[in-house]
Chains A and B, each alone.
Chain A
Amino acid sequence: MTGFLGVLRRDLRLALAGGGDILTLVLFFVIVGAIVPFAVGPDRELLARIAPGVIWIAAFLAMLLGLDKLFRPDRDEGTLALYRLADLSLPGMVAAKVIAHWLTAALPLIVASPFLALILAMDMDTYWRTLASLLLGTPALAAFGTFGAAVTVAIRRGGLLAPILIAPLSVPVLIFGVGAISPLGGPDQASAAMLFLAALSLMALALSPFAAGLAIDWGEE
């Protein structure tokens, strides 16, 4: 447990000490959402209709930005080798990384989401559901992202490969994430989508540390 907390503390410290890292993600998230009205024109109704999708796409892309910082610097400086000899299981280390990744790459986006809601002319009711779906769905994106980063860490310049690898895994998250906000067939289906989203997150959180731990263990020095 000390090791788990140690990894978590270190990653949070590094992210906060950088300062700019988190701000970059948030700005990217807001900018992606903010250019949509310019691209599709100032049609309030259309904007309100596509707003859930835009927010989810912006969140998905912004979270991809942080992936390369998860394991690659650790590998380059030698900390990854230390993890493999540490008195802490690799899945335990990865679980700490997933939590740190969510706290530094997803939570700031959720905090910044009111800005996007404003820009995209979202009504209050839709915004609350957006907030709930982001809170439920982003843990799955963080878990899949960490897995992708772990699999590609041994590959030089593999940073671009991770997004391609996890895109298919993230598709269900986006489908149910948007489905939970803009119900096509009434409120019943929205709550069903919300449950699916929660199930996806739980499954991803439970499995990804083990998968990523194996990937790191098999990767050669």
Chain B
Amino acid sequence: MTRGQAQLRLSLEAQGLACGYGETALATDLSFTVPSGSGLLLRGPNGAGKSTLLLTLAGLLQPLAGQIALVGHDPDDGPAIHHCGHRNAVRARLTVRQTLDFWADINGRNGIDAAAALDRVGLARIAGLDAGYLSAGQQRRLVLARLLVSRRPVWLLDEPSAALDADGQALLEALLDAHLDAGGIAIIATHDAIAVERLRTLTLGVAA
């Protein structure tokens, strides 16, 4: 069985989750279940804990309380989560293509081909350009290509539409739609409207 086939049965479940840094809890008592083929839009004012929740779900931060489980995921299938944070992990001196190849190397090449991914996000023309010269929007597009070269069932996106133009916004929505169609899970922290069906909204308040 190849990786990715198992994702139809997946669901991401959080029980009484609290996240934050050290003693400071930013969001508390979160419980939700996101079955495959659906997603969650995280909304809330600045500082409500959206990014922190994504980091916690990704396993990059320890939860202060509660549990997170990815039900139905076989650890033998490799990591299940793509996390795209504020920072794009794009380094000057490497070309666009080299950057994407590097990501495919460390994350596993089980998605579409790197050249096809660059074409999909509209960066094929500048594949040989030093990634340090990319604009903020182009860097976000390159990050979207990272989601395509390695197939993983769970996407955690932190303000993916920031700096994207109207075309980029449409591209993001199309990619999300295809991802959910394939049985994926997406959790997105954003202030923009993302016109994709099957996305529920979870509003985080400012921690009292």
Q: Is B a genuine binding partner of A?
A: yes
Contact surface of A with B, Cβ cutoff 8 Å: 2-3, 5-7, 9-10, 13-14, 17-18, 73, 76-79, 81-88, 93, 220-221
- Sample of 11 A–B contacts (CB below 8 Å): A2-B108, A3-B108, A10-B102, A14-B93, A18-B93, A77-B88, A79-B91, A81-B83, A82-B89, A87-B107, A221-B61
Q: From A6, A17, A77, give the contact of B106 (CB < 8 A).
A: A6
Once the chains bind, are B94 and A87 in contact (CB under 8 Å)? no
From B52-60, B179-187, B193-201, the one touching the partner chain is B52-60
Which bracket fits the contact residues of B?
A: 20 to 34
Once the chains bind, are A13 and B107 in contact (CB under 8 Å)? no
Q: How many contacting A-B pairs (Cβ < 8 A)?
A: 83
| CB-CB under 8 A for A86 and B107, given A6-B101, A18-B93, A77-B89 | yes
Once the chains bind, are B88 and A220 in contact (CB under 8 Å)? no
Least distance between A209 CB and chain B CB atoms (Å): 15
Cα(A85)–Cα(B89), bound, Å: 13
> B14 on the interface (CB 8 Å rule)?
no
- Give 20 A-B pairs besides A83-B106, A88-B106, A221-B55 with Cβ atoms closer than 8 angstroms: A3-B107, A3-B108, A13-B93, A13-B94, A17-B93, A77-B87, A78-B87, A79-B89, A81-B58, A81-B60, A81-B89, A82-B107, A84-B60, A85-B59, A85-B107, A86-B79, A87-B78, A87-B107, A220-B60, A220-B61
- B83 surroundings in chain A (CB, below 8 A): 81, 85
- A5 surroundings in chain B (CB, below 8 A): 105
The residue in chain A whose Cβ has the minimal distance to the Cβ of B51 is A221
Once the chains bind, are B90 and A77 in contact (CB under 8 Å)? yes
> B191 on the interface (CB 8 Å rule)?
no
Cα(A10)–Cα(B92), bound, Å: 12
Cα(A88)–Cα(B91), bound, Å: 20
- B133 surroundings in chain A (CB, below 8 A): none
Cα(A76)–Cα(B21), bound, Å: 18
Once the chains bind, are A220 and B21 in contact (CB under 8 Å)? yes
